[in-house]
């Protein structure tokens, strides 16, 4: 287990404040407000450690670099804003997802990603 450093604390708080999946660059930008000299290598190293500790989980979107969110949340999906590139959590799930599984197939997991414009970007 890694010790808690000022940098690790700032990175954890960035995720807690955002309450949405963050890219490593977003983590760096937000945590730098707290720890001015923070570098991207430190962010990558700490994110990897927080994933190993099961404090964070990777959010994999098709064609995108991974983003990360706090581990242990209830089942949910994601909304990717095509304008600002931020990713947001969509609570809950489509209840009829099992209805589209072909006969004879057994559904084990699924991912749904919605794309569009977030409220900040509007209809830009």
State pLDDT tens for residues 38-77. 999 999 999 999 999 999 999 999 999 999 999 999 889 9
Residues 63 and 100 grouped into a single domain: no
Tokens of 55: 């404090």
121 within some domain? no
111 within some domain? yes
Q: Is the pLDDT of residue 10 over 90?
A: yes
Question: Would you list the DSSP string of 54-80?
Answer: TSEEEE--TTS--EEEETTPPSEEEEE
- How far is it, in rounded angstroms, from Cα 47 to Cα 11? 8
Q: CB neighbours (10 Å) of residue 58? A: 12
Residues 58 and 88 grouped into a single domain: no
Q: What is the pLDDT of residue 28?
A: 97
What is the tally of structural domains in the chain? 2
Q: What is the pLDDT of residue 99?
A: 85
Q: Is the pLDDT of residue 92 over 90?
A: no
| Strand 76-81 relative to strand 113-116, pairing | parallel
């Amino acid at each position: 287990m890694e010790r808690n450093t000022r940098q690790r604390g700032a990175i954890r708080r960035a995720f807690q404040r955002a309450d949405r999946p963050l890219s490593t660059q977003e983590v760096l930008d937000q945590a730098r407000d707290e720890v001015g000299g923070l570098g991207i290598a430190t962010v990558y190293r700490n994110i990897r450690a927080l994933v190993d500790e099961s404090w964070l989980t990777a959010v994999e979107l098709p064609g995108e670099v991974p983003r990360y969110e706090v581990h242990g949340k209830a089942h949910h999906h994601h909304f990717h804003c095509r304008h600002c590139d931020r990713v947001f959590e969509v609570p809950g799930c489509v209840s009829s997802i099992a209805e589209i599984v072909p006969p004879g197939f057994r559904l084990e997991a699924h991912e749904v990603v919605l794309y569009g414009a977030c409220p900040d970007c509007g209809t830009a």
